[in-house]
Structures are given as structure tokens and as C-alpha cells.
Chain A
Amino acid sequence: MDNGRNNQDWRPTASLLALTKNAAVYRWIREFFEQRDVLEVQTPVLSHAGTTDRHIESFCTKFHSVSAEQSSQMLYLITSPEFHMKRLLAAGSGDIYQLGRVFRQSELGAQHNPEFTLLEWYRTGQDHHQLMLEVAEFVNGVLSNCADYTMMEHEQLSYRTVFRQHLGIDPLADSTKTLRLCAQQHGFIASEQGAGGDSTHHDLYLDFLMSHVVQPKLGQGKLSFVYDYPASQCSLARLSNEDARVAERFELFLNGVELANGFHELCDPQQQQRRFEQDNVMRDASKQTPVVIDRRLIAALTSGLPDCAGVAVGIDRLLQFILSAKTLDDVLAFPFNRA
């Protein structure tokens, strides 16, 4: 019986309906941005620099030159087109978007495929609050044009608010010990080392509580935006001027699934350089390979990135929602196991 099944693994796992919906969504996306005068761009998938983010690992490969003197060069497959797109913005491109594949090592599950489709766009002269509104229009547009959904309401809640609502704890003020106890109550098994009190573990407990307890309750019949993430999870967002404990970053949740992540972008080259270096120090400490820092991005920021906000939307997950599919396999023609 198993042999019979293996002989069938050349077949796509997505239905023809799913492929048709996929094509409709792509068409609609291009129309959406054309109407709004946002320029479609293409940037490299192979890059000389990678992301230093400690929780995102890049696929690495090598370029072998034909001339023998030059040794081979290490290359990263992009985990997001962000760095290249910011270089275009710094060069004066104006508002841009890109629809393409990105690659992330070790991410495989019902909601993860190591290769997936990201839609990323940038709006100059906007902050993350303005961009959240456009993301809501975008998602509502896709759902009503490519599926039979009526317009969904959207809500904007701060990270602090959702933690207070669903857990009764304050992610910005409560101690790491309080977070750990709360995480353990919800089924998290903290290891011996994990019982320590440093900032890494603080974020570990926050990530657990967010992904296992808060997130499943978000986006039920509406679009839930969560904004003002803790500064320790700022990624490439700028810190808030009013409250330095939070970063101007947001995420969108629909039906308990993380659908988008956006920033009011950090424009300060020195701060960006420091964050990259800090990431690499942490990588070193946790026996992860340090990553080549993107000096061209830093140069672009130095030259001047316009004030802007950017967001990345997971298109495969959006399709998963449209088709009420349990796993990504139902929307990808050939998921990882059949690639």
C-alpha cells in the first residue's frame, strides 16, 4: 500500500481550484498596486549578505568562479527582500512592492514551508499606523474579490493590551520569573538553563505565550493587528519616541494565524549597524554561525532612507485562509516533501 502511495508522489498536492485561486490572487495583487501607483520591482534571491536575526536561518550556497585565482564566494538565499528593497528606496524609487519567493532554513510544518511566497511593500512618508490601514484594505480586497467574504472589521491593539487581556500579565513591566511561571502554567517546559533570568529567556517566554496562548484567540472573524512590540523584538523597526520600551512594529493575525509583519522602518545607519553586530555576538554565544552583515544596506541608510513603513504578507497563508485549508500542502503545487 505504501508503494502505491509513493508512486503517486509526482502529483501536486494542491487542487486545480487552489491553483486557480492562487492565479486570481496574483492578478488582483498587481491590479491593487497598479491602481495605487506602487511600482513592482524584482531584486536578487541570491545575496552576498544575510539576515543576522537569531531566529531566522538562511540557506547558504557557493558561487564558483571560472577563473582559478578567485576563490568561491559564499551566498545566502534571501529570507526576505527587505535589504535590497531598502536600497532601492534609498536610491529614490518611491513606493515599491515585490511578490516573490523567500527561503528559510529548518522551517517545516502545517503553517511552514522552507520556501514560501512573500508580498512585501513600502510606503514612503507613512508610519506603521497608516500602513496597517492599507494592509486591512488589501486583505479585505483579496478576500472579497478572490473569495466570497464580506468586508471584515479590523482592530488595532497594542502588544501590551493583548497580553493583559488574554493572560493578565504586563509584557513590558513584569519580571522574567512572572513570565516563566505563566508560561509553565500554559504547558511550557523550561529546561534547566531556561530557568535563568536573562533577557533572551524573557523573549522566549513572551514568544511562547504569544504564539501558544494569545495568538489563537486573535483574528476571529476580524483582522487583528497587534502593534508596539517590545523593544527587544524590534527587528528592523524604529523604537518609539514616546516609549523607548516598544518598537514601531506590527503584526496581523487572521483566524489565529500570523499573516503579516510590518515596521515603521529604522533609518539610522549607526543603530542598524549596532543591531546587526549585537545579533552576531548573540549568535556566537549560542553557537550559531555569525552572518555577513549587509554593508551595502548600511551604506544605503547612510546615504539616506526616506521615512517609510514596510510590510510583508504571507501569500500562501492567505490562500490557506481563502480555501479553508488545514495545511500549506493544500495550497502549494509541490510542497517541500515533493519539491
Chain B
Amino acid sequence: MATYTTNEFRSGMKLMIDGAPFNIIDCEFVKPGKGQAFARVKLRNLQTRRVVERTYKSGESVEAADVVDNEMQYLYNDGEYWHFMDLQSFEQVAADADSIGESGKWLKDQDMCTVTLWNNMPIDVVPPNFVELKITETDPGVRGDTASGGGKPATLESGAVVRVPLFVESGEVIKVDTRTGEYVSRVKE
């Protein structure tokens, strides 16, 4: 059984707590001047997506979640499941809405994603840091306005809504940072 000590804790690390896999979001060192040191961690339950805060005595060992991160290609969504394929083995997995979470709104056919498997079941999907998606709907562009602040909402082909500059038009392809959900640039096709 693999374990991590609290000193090794990093965000993104997966732990097993009470039989459920968790992902470390954040870890903080807490220590009274004259007392015991602690590791305070913020964790996401990868099954329920719920975020909890837990504290360990510094130096304690915690069971590592027996999970595998796989680079897989997104194939399609059948309305209930999102399907991914391992390009080496051609094995396919199907992820439900719970394990997709917020990531679903960034997925475009054939994009490579990091799929976390637990007992061969997908429990987490991380989209690429940057995706290029077509705008399906936004207010008409304002001619000549190339840089002013403000912006407007735009709906993308994957369903996500992001704020874009006023000059960006419906039908254009834009680059978005999926970690922040922010518009990066227009993409010339």
C-alpha cells in the first residue's frame, strides 16, 4: 500500500480517506510556536465533488489513492456519458456527470484530457489548459472597438459561457484558459 507523509503533500496529489479517493486542492503548514506542527489540507472528494478541510499531525502517513492518471482522447457525449479512448491501447472508458463535473463544458471531440481512473472507473477529468472553441452565440461585434474593457458573454460550442472582448463575433474560434475560464485570444482559421 503506497502512502504519502504530510511533508510530501502537494496540490493535485490523490489520497484515500475513509475508503474514498480525494484530490488535494491546497495544503498549509500550521504550527504554534511552542507546539505540535500540523498539515491543514483542503480536499475534494472525487466521487461526490464535495470540498472538505482536514488536518493531520505533521509527519503522519496517509494512504495514497490507488489511481492512475491517463492521457485520453475525448470521443463524444451520448447524453448521459462522456466517452474517452486511450490512443495506445484503444481501450475506452465512459465518465458520468459526477466525475466530469465542471470539465464537461470545455470538452471538444478529439481533445486530449487527463482522465483519473480508480478501479478502472473514471473519477476525474481534467481538460487541456488551453482549448480552442467556436462561439455559437454572442451579441454583434462593435466595429472599431479593439481593446476597450467591459466585454460581453459568449456561448461556446461546448456549452461554456465566457466573457470576450466586444469586437469578437459569433462564429469565430477563440482560445480559452480552462483553469481560469478566461478568454485568451482569437484563433485565425
Question: Could you list which residues of chain A lie within 8 angstroms of chain B, going by C-beta atoms?
Answer: 53, 55-56, 106-112, 187-189, 191, 194, 203-204, 207-208, 210-212, 215, 233, 235, 251, 258, 261, 314
Contact = CB atoms under 8 A, between A and B. Distances in A.
B115 to A, nearest CB: 25
Contact of B35 (A109, A188, A211): A211
A140 to B, nearest CB: 21
Nearest to A188: B55
Main secondary structure, interface of B, reads strand
A207 B54 contact: no
B57 A211 contact: no
How many chain B residues sit at the interface, stated as a range, is 20 to 34
Interface of B: 17, 28-38, 40, 52-57, 60-62
17 contacts: A55-B37, A56-B34, A107-B31, A112-B29, A187-B53, A188-B56, A194-B60, A204-B57, A207-B35, A207-B36, A208-B55, A210-B32, A211-B32, A212-B55, A258-B32, A258-B33, A261-B34
Contact of A55 (B36, B54, B55, B56): B36
A83 to B, nearest CB: 15
Contacts of A55: 31-32, 34-37
Of B36, B54, B56, B61, the most chain A CB neighbours within 10 A belong to B36
Given A187-B52, A187-B53, A211 B34 contact: no
A189 B33 contact: no
B94 to A, nearest CB: 33
B29 to A, nearest CB: 3
B104 to A, nearest CB: 28
Nearest to A235: B34
A204 B34 contact: no
Given A109-B28, A110-B28, A261 B57 contact: no
Nearest to B60: A191
B33 A204 contact: no
A327 to B, nearest CB: 11
B37 A106 contact: yes
A106 B37 CA distance: 10
B31 A211 contact: yes
A112 B31 CA distance: 8
A237 B33 CA distance: 14
Contacts of B57: 191, 194, 204
A189 B22 CA distance: 14
A212 B33 contact: no
B153 to A, nearest CB: 28
A139 to B, nearest CB: 16
Given A109-B31, A208-B38, 15 more contacts: A55-B31, A55-B32, A56-B34, A106-B37, A107-B29, A107-B31, A109-B30, A112-B29, A189-B17, A191-B60, A194-B60, A207-B35, A208-B36, A210-B32, A258-B32
